[in-house]
Amino acid sequence: MQIVYLNGSKLQLTWREMLGQFRHPLFVGLVLVVSTVIILVGPYDDLLMFGPLKLGIFYANGFGSFIAILILCLYLCHRWRWNAYSLVTVFVSVLGSTAWGMIVALLLGARMPPVSDLALVIGFNLVFAYAGEILHAGFVMPRALADMRGTSPQAILAEFLVSEEGTLKESFPGPLPVVTRPAASPSVASPPPSDAGRHIGESVTIFGQPFRLAEIMSIQAEEHYICLTLHSGARHLLRGRIADAIAAMPPGRGLQIHRSYWVASAALARFSQGRSAAQITLVDGRVLPVARQRIPQVREWAAAHLQTD
């Protein structure tokens, strides 16, 4: 999925990486810091006139509902392949959590506030929510993703800034091996299939970028991009269709297990199947789903490959 932040910068994430950020200690710490500041400022104390116990219940419901609604908004964007604009997701989360907080406050005995006071509360919540988003994008996100991907925060920031024309070279003049810019003009949706890629010997060129065939582990569709993962752990984002990238790979090098995933044979570690679903485990520990209609083909491919190793 693609996250679009307030300044227009974009970042490609998998759903697993998105959930991993919410569990990361830095994100938990950010939530605790912002929550503590809000409690110390106490913008609702005069409005509610609650004691410590009721205030604690009110704040717990407010903070918890905000995170829950935010995750729901991001999941819907992921499920329906929408861009997750923080301007929209954070705004909806603030409105939803404010509404739920007022319901809880009324149940605890508070009086219904006038519209002017309610507007001030919403404005205050929006300011703190977007301030938290800025801290998350600039400090928490690159470090959390660096831990999950086994790379450096600088590389994550470079990936984050790759959508801003001219910013990448100015901010990070050194080599950035884990991030590649699209070879085609940003105005072109995707390169023509004939120019998508080609392989020569033990190398392959995909959307203008050369790679060693032995280094490629998997190709994953990410909306208008593909994410190509190497055995070294490096991830390359390239603009184009996964069908064109797979067409560039030599026959017999791997298999498309799902409409969104192609896996190299050398990257396969395990195939497992339940009653109605199947999945494969890669040598780096990632677990990928197998499309239902592809299960027989993937099972045969996995059996042949694992027996020969």
Q: Specify the higher pLDDT residue, 239 or 30.
A: 30
- Of 37-46, 151-160, 177-186, highest mean pLDDT: 37-46
Asked which of 60-64, 104-108, 162-166, 288-292 is least confident by mean pLDDT, the reply is: 162-166
Give the residue numbers spanning the domain of 229: 193-308
pLDDT, residue 175, reads 36
Task: Kindly state the average pLDDT of the residues 155-180.
Answer: 42
**123 and 213 housed in the same domain:** no
pLDDT at 225: 82
Tell me the pLDDT band of 236, cut-offs 50, 70 and 90. Answer: confident
Q: Are residues 18 and 62 in the same domain?
A: yes
Quote the number of domains for the chain. 2
The tens digit of pLDDT for each residue in 73-94 reads 999 988 887 888 999 999 999 9
Q: Are residues 13 and 132 in the same domain?
A: yes
Instruction: Examine the domain organization and report whether 134 and 218 are in the same domain.
Output: no
Q: What is the CATH number of the domain that holds 223?
A: 2.40.50.1020
Enumerate residues 6+ apart whose C-beta is below 8 A from 77.
1, 83, 84, 89
Q: Give the integer Cα–Cα distance in Å for 2 and 74.
A: 10
- Predicted TM-score (pTM) of the model is 0.57
Is residue 125 assigned to a domain? Answer: yes
C-alpha 254/C-alpha 142 separation (Å) is 32
pLDDT of residue 268: 93
Residue 75 counted as domain residue: yes
Q: Is residue 173 part of a domain?
A: no
Does 267 reside within a domain? Answer: yes
User: Does residue 184 belong to any structural domain of this protein?
Assistant: no
Claim to verify: residue 208 and residue 138 sit in the same structural domain: no
Judgement on whether residues 16 and 126 belong to the same structural domain of the protein: yes
Q: Considering the domain boundaries, does residue 187 fall inside one?
A: no
Instruction: Give the chain as a 3 state SS string.
Output: CEEECCCCCEEECCHHHHHHHHHCHHHHHHHHHHHHHHHHHCCCHHHHCCCHHHHHHHHHHHHHHHHHHHHHHHHHHHHCCCCEEHHHHHHHHHHHHHHHHHHHHHHCCCCCCCHHHHHHHHHHHHHHHHHHHHHHHHHHHHHHHHHHHCCCHHHHHHHHHCCCCCHHHHHCCCCCCCCCCCCCCCCCCCCCHHHCEEEECCEEEECCEEEEHHHEEEEEEECCEEEEEECCCCEEEEECCHHHHHHHCCCCCEEEEECCEEEEHHHEEEEEECCCCEEEEECCCCEEEECHHHHHHHHHHHHHHHHHC
- What pLDDT does residue 161 have? 53
